[in-house]
């Protein structure tokens, strides 16, 4: 795995590879090659110069350790890379070396390289989010009639269905992906502004070079350079933060439902997954744990990016220099959460019988609201509430089901017949609009198509 040990719980293997030294350097070199080709097409530099630059601009040709040391001294990643690339080109063709990095500035290299990395990260992130959405939609359909306790403030409450819970996870993640779609579409743009964002060094050909550079890299062309305007990237980073939080909410629910005392779901196991170094009986919520860890990290990274938006004039001192590790951390955390929760959702075991048992263990007190509504129609809500509070206290003290206690209370039976009371604790009869809400949550464009095919 390309990730260092210290990062092994914070990324996936594909994303670790994407943000590896080799990949980051290649993205910068790809910018320089594309710039030379674009300038050759509009006759700013000779075509032969572009060919010689492309011939040596491969990451394997460079000493990574030396570059890293020089970057720290230079305060920017671009200066040492451009210098090293120029020397490589000079050794091959001295005349062509004159045209390396022609008209660009250091931030043009750094920003466009970052955008290229984001472009390559996009499908990696999307693939796992799509897997997660598909698995959750299927879980919701499979368990549309599986009743379980609702829980409010960590306490037992009237029943819901597991299908509704899964649909809620699905919808939040799908909304988050829609936001990221829009943010990626706006953010994947080239950066070329030269010294102060005017491209004065390219004269009247600046706009043409930018357009050709965008085509060469497969990026959009912005109306103007954006060196100190980081709003597009900020929107993407914030959207990734919301997505990670949405997956964290699912992870929190799953980990709580996996507690031994609850035992309603279980993550998939397997060799080396979910065990304990000291307790052989353990089956830990590993996917949820990794996702919760990501959801803990990302908010601070998002805050850092937002703080770094306040940049000075035409080139920032410290603002954009702070971004690379922040962006890499957010994307890798979101990607890890998506991959982890996709695996969880695809292999989640749902114990419908345990869910029913946990409902029964409440001895019907979770249906006190239902009884209160029935009684409130006769006595008024406040009086009914007081009567039901007393009834639930008796139920707890006597260890009896709520319905049995209510059958012994004349103030109840005077208004609610015993046949109704005997049906009071049937959870399927107190689900309200759960199924309508479940279907509405799944009714995205993808969901509608899926439902039509069933």
- Domain 365-424, CATH class in plain words: mainly alpha
pLDDT value at position 2?
Answer: 62
pLDDT value at position 450?
Answer: 47
DSSP letter string over 19-82?
TSHHHHHHHHHHHHHHHHHHHHHTTSS-HHHHHHHHHH--GGGS-HHHHHHHHHHHTSSHHHHH
- b (16+ CB within 10 A) / e for 196-215: ebebeebeebbebbbbbbbe
φ, ψ for residue 375, nearest 5 deg: -75, -35
Q: Please write the tens of the pLDDT for every residue from 123-169.
A: 999 999 999 999 999 999 999 999 999 999 999 999 999 999 999 99
Specify the fold of 115-189+226-360: Fumarase C; Chain A, domain 2 (1.20.200)
Which residues form the catalytic set? 276, 315
Q: What is the CA radius of gyration of the chain?
A: 30
The answer to whether the CB of 159 falls within 8 A of the CB of 176 is no
The beta strand positions in 104-263, using DSSP E, are 147-152, 155-161
- Residue appearing with tokens 């509704």: 164
* CA–CA distance, 273 with 307 (Å, rounded to integer): 38
Total residue count of the chain as it appears in this document = 454
The gap from C-alpha 419 to its chain's centroid, in whole angstroms, comes to 50
pLDDT value at position 276?
Answer: 46
Nearest one of 340, 120, 337, 312 to 217, comparing CA atoms: 120
The answer to whether the CB of 27 falls within 8 A of the CB of 42 is no
Q: Please write the tens of the pLDDT for every residue from 179-199.
A: 999 999 999 999 999 999 999
The answer to whether the CB of 190 falls within 8 A of the CB of 221 is yes
Pick out the chain residues at pLDDT < 70: 1-3, 270-282, 445-454
- A 10 A CB-CB count for 280 gives 7
The answer to whether the CB of 251 falls within 8 A of the CB of 291 is yes
- % helix, strand, coil for the chain, step of 5: 70, 5, 30
* CA–CA distance, 247 with 253 (Å, rounded to integer): 10
The answer to whether the CB of 30 falls within 8 A of the CB of 57 is yes
What residue segments make up the domains of the chain, in order of their start?
Answer: 115-189+226-360, 365-424
Tokens representing residue 323 in the block? 């971004």
């Amino acid at each position: 795995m390309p990730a260092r040990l210290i990062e092994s719980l914070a990324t996936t293997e594909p994303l670790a590879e994407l943000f590896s030294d080799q990949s980051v350097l290649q993205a910068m070199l790809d910018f320089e090659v594309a710039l030379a080709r674009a300038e050759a097409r509009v006759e700013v530099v000779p075509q032969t110069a572009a060919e010689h630059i492309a011939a040596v601009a491969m990451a394997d040709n460079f000493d990574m350790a030396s570059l890293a040391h020089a970057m720290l001294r230079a305060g920017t990643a671009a200066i040492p890379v451009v210098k090293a690339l120029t020397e490589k080109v000079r050794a091959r063709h001295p005349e062509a070396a004159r045209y390396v990095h022609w008209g660009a500035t250091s931030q043009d290299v750094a920003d466009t390289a970052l955008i290229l990395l984001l472009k390559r990260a996009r499908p990696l992130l999307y693939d796992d989010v799509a897997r997660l959405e598909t698995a959750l939609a299927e879980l919701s359909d499979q368990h549309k009639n599986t009743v379980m306790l609702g829980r409010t403030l960590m306490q037992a409450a009237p029943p819901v269905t597991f299908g509704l819970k899964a649909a809620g996870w699905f919808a939040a993640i799908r909304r988050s992906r829609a936001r990221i779609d829009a943010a990626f579409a706006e953010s994947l743009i080239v950066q070329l502004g030269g010294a102060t964002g005017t491209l004065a060094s390219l004269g009247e050909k600046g706009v043409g070079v930018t357009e050709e550079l965008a085509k060469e890299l497969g990026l959009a062309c912005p109306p103007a350079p954006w060196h100190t305007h980081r709003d597009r990237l900020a929107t993407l980073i914030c959207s990734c933060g919301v997505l990670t939080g949405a997956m964290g909410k699912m992870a929190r629910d799953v980990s709580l439902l996996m507690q031994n005392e609850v035992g309603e779901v279980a993550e998939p196991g397997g060799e080396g997954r979910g065990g304990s170094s000291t307790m052989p009986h353990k089956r830990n919520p590993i996917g949820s744990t990794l996702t919760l860890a990501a959801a803990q990290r990302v908010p601070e990274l998002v805050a850092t990016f937002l703080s770094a938006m306040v940049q000075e004039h035409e080139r920032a001192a410290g603002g954009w220099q702070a971004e690379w590790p922040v962006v890499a951390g957010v994307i890798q955390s979101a990607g890890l959460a998506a991959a982890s929760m996709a695996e969880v959702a695809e292999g989640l075991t749902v114990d419908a019988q345990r869910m029913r048992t946990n409902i029964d263990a409440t001895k019907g007190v979770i249906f006190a609201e239902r009884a209160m509504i029935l009684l409130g129609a006769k006595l008024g809500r406040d009086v009914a509430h007081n009567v039901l509070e007393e009834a639930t206290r008796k139920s707890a003290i006597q260890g009896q089901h709520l319905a049995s206690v209510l059958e012994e209370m004349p103030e109840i039976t005077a208004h609610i017949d015993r046949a109704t009371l005997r049906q009071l604790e049937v959870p399927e009869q107190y689900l309200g609009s759960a199924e309508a809400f479940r279907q509405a949550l799944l009714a995205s464009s993808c969901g509608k198509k899926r439902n039509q095919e069933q």
